[in-house]
């Protein structure tokens, strides 16, 4: 799993990131893309640019008919730690303790977050290699999986 780093600013940055995401989708052909939702409680000065980027990526995925599942940040934290208000560092520590995986360096917490989102999808469809406690699994109930379920069902119908 890699992060996408671009030097551009403004609309050029949005375009570069959108293009990188869509290239990854063309290469890997995901059944569904799982994105973390917006953190409305954050007092982050980057909130508008994050919102712009999220919108650009969601539209591009929609135009390519790739289903998107949005996971609230508190659900991501609860799945990883059992608590919805866990800090980023607590999330990384909990996942590292459970799996032995270690994330370090710039963007490590974002890569860990992406891994957690992937695990949430795998756990939802009972194909995760990890056994998650019931308290953590409860986080899945706050996510609307209907787009992913429709895609999985239609893929299964084509295979039968």
pLDDT category of residue 139 using cuts at 50, 70 and 90: very high
Average confidence score pLDDT of the chain:
87
pLDDT category of residue 147 using cuts at 50, 70 and 90: confident
Report residue 72: phi and psi, to 5°: -60, 145
Report the pLDDT value the prediction gives residue 160, as an integer from 0 to 100. 55
d(CA 74, CA 120): 13
Q: How many CA atoms lie within 13 A of 63 on its CB side?
A: 10
- Over the stretch 11-47, which tens digit does the pLDDT of each residue have? 999 999 999 999 999 999 999 999 998 876 655 556 6
Q: What is the pTM of this model?
A: 0.84
Closest by Cα among 54, 58, 27, 29 to 39? 54
Residue that wins the pLDDT comparison between 49 and 59? 59
Report the pLDDT value the prediction gives residue 48, as an integer from 0 to 100. 62
Report the pLDDT value the prediction gives residue 46, as an integer from 0 to 100. 65
pLDDT category of residue 60 using cuts at 50, 70 and 90: very high
What domains can be seen in the chain, in order of their start residue?
10-154 (3.30.420.10)
Cα dihedral sign for 70, 113, 22, 156? negative
């Amino acid at each position: 799993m890699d992060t996408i780093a671009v030097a551009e600013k403004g609309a050029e940055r949005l375009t570069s990131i959108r293009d990188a995401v869509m290239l990854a989708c063309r290469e890997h052909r995901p059944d569904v893309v799982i994105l973390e939702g917006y953190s409305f409680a954050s007092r982050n000065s980057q909130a508008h640019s994050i919102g712009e980027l999220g919108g650009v990526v969601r539209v591009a995925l929609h135009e390519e008919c790739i289903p998107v599942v949005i996971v609230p940040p508190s659900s991501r934290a609860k799945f990883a730690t059992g608590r919805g208000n866990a800090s980023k560092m607590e999330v990384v520590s909990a996942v590292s303790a459970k799996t032995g995986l270690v994330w370090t360096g710039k963007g490590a917490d974002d890569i860990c977050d992406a891994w957690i989102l992937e695990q949430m999808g795998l756990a939802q469809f009972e194909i995760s290699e990890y056994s998650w406690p019931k308290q953590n699994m409860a986080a899945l109930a706050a996510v609307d999986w209907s787009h992913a379920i429709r895609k999985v069902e239609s893929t299964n119908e084509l295979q039968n």
